[in-house]
A and B are shown apart, each in its own frame.
Chain A
Amino acid sequence: DQQVKQNSPSLSVQEGRISILNCDYTNSMFDYFLWYKKYPAEGPTFLISISSIKDKNEDGRFTVFLNKSAKHLSLHIVPSQPGDSAVYFCAAKYSGGGADGLTFGKGTHLIIQP
């Protein structure tokens, strides 16, 4: 039973446009969410995170939105650049109670078209 779902295995966006990657979760105990970016043959690289006490966090071209009632988060990249082509993983955790591991979605492959 997948607790974190990324329903789009791939997404193609034109350079300069906005990329929107979506993620849904089912476990209401999750209170901290992260996005990781992964290039082939490399480990996931931390991109941006958000705590459940917020509904938005912004870092340069990257913004993460959290809708707790819908158990949904999204990552916006604007403007999209060729170097953004990678697999993006959504991850979630419960920050209390010693449950420190991350639960990952299966990833969305973002392709930025020139």
Chain B
Amino acid sequence: DAGVIQSPRHEVTEMGQEVTLRCKPISGHDYLFWYRQTMMRGLELLIYFNNNVPIDDSGMPEDRFSAKMPNASFSTLKIQPSEPRDSAVYFCASSRDGRYTQYFGPGTRLTVL
């Protein structure tokens, strides 16, 4: 059974460019989470969806960040325009029941020059 799939695995871009990160959750999971990992702040929740509806986006750092989930099998996290301080590893996770265990994808390492 496939786990959470993220693409791309690595992204290098220049400041000011638009970046789109993609996630496919585990089939049958109704919850999808986006996390960011940095050295300074560790792993922090950005936003999560339940049944494709955004529930809590209080962790999204700025208006430059947006996330969508057009259907149960796909979500995007977009940064426009990107800045060097956005450099981090971005993880997507999914859960069958939002109350309990979340399963993580391999992450996208983003570098903004």
Residues of chain A having any CB pair with chain B under 8 Å: 32, 34, 36, 41-46, 49, 89, 93, 95-96, 98-107
Contacts and interface: CB of A to CB of B under 8 A. Distances in A.
A44 B43 CA distance: 10
Nearest to A89: B43
A43 B99 contact: no
A100 B99 contact: yes
A41 B89 CA distance: 9
Interface residues of B, number: 26
Given A43-B4, A44-B91, A106-B42, A100 B31 contact: yes
Interface stretch (B11-19, B44-52, B67-75): B44-52
Contact of B50 (A93, A100, A106): A100
Given A89-B43, A104-B43, 5 more contacts: A42-B107, A43-B91, A93-B99, A101-B45, A101-B48
- The A contact surface, by secondary structure, is loop
Given A101-B48, A102-B45, A105-B42, A45 B59 contact: no
Contact of B56 (A41, A95, A101, A106): A101
B43 A43 contact: no
Interface in B32-63: 33, 35, 42-45, 48, 50, 55-56, 59
Contacts of B4: 43
A24 B21 CA distance: 33
